[in-house]
Structure 1
């Protein structure tokens, strides 16, 4: 879509890095609707809803995207804050976001509560070890790698 037709969007988001007892982090394999040929791995999360704080958003997003439950009081962090700029579908987004850590046990993952756009753009999920992330040739968003290392440092 030409730049003059794109929609600017400035938003605040909260993201979560669920970690299981094996020390693996859960990431989603996604596509951008405007570039479906370039899949990527990303952390779970999304924009804050009106009246919601970051921790509430993390809990809601984790539930909506995976059916994993956690308590806001059990979150650690934020382990990383950043501003990211990216194009998504017809939007040019400036996103102020925070990553939190959640120790989640060994839960089942389900996409049954995702909305239509999430379902259409989510290819799957994977529990990643740090070692696997360090050697993968698949594209993991660089800011997510940084956040994951910060989350593991916060665990120690």
Structure 2
């Protein structure tokens, strides 16, 4: 891994991100499995998404991240309203991160997940994808953040509400 792609250790990173939770009809949600580049011995499951770039809306960032991280192409007009927002603080790559997150849920059937469009650092720190029910993920204790199982529940509820409407 090339350290120069990370900010200098200790740099406080403040970022706004868009996160997308693809939900299958069986209520399982697609997550990524990876690790902090400085702590590869402690992998975890996390949501698809990333930073909002200059000139980009949070919706545009969500669509872009969905395509880049897992190869799912989704029409922007079908993204729907956010299902949750939060701000979390954590450390990654030796840097404290304060991250404001907006979560979207999308209903998918059979999708082929591809890591072909990931950036090099993602390829080096993401090993797999998996489909999870919130309770199963919670039982493993391997969610990247304590809020993720509840976010999965909210995504599933949002999709079921949209389909019933």
**Contact 1:84/1:94, CA 8 A, preserved across alignment:** yes
For 2:45, the equivalent position in structure 1 comes to 41
For residues 17 and 46 of structure 1, do their structure 2 counterparts lie closer, same or farther at Cα, with a shift above 3 Å needed? same
For 1:53, the equivalent position in structure 2 comes to 57
TM-score normalised according to structure 2 size: 0.85
TM-score normalised according to structure 1 size: 0.90
In the TM superposition, residue 74 of structure 1 has moved relative to its aligned partner by 1.2
In the TM superposition, residue 5 of structure 1 has moved relative to its aligned partner by 4.8
Normalized per residue, which structure has more strand?
Answer: 1
For 2:97, the equivalent position in structure 1 comes to 93
Count, aligned residues: 152
Q: Deviations over 1:53-95 (max 9, x none)?
A: 1111010000000111111221233111111111110321111
Q: Tell me, in whole angstroms, the C-alpha distance in 1 between the residues paired with 2:81 and 2:148.
A: 15
For 1:109, the equivalent position in structure 2 comes to 113
**Contact 2:52/2:61, CA 8 A, preserved across alignment:** yes
Matching of residue 32 in structure 1 with residue 36 in structure 2: yes
Structure 1 counterpart of 2:16, from 8, 12, 20? 12
Gaps of 5+ in 2: 1-7
RMSD: 1.6
Q: Tell me, in whole angstroms, the C-alpha distance in 2 between the residues paired with 1:95 and 1:38.
A: 21
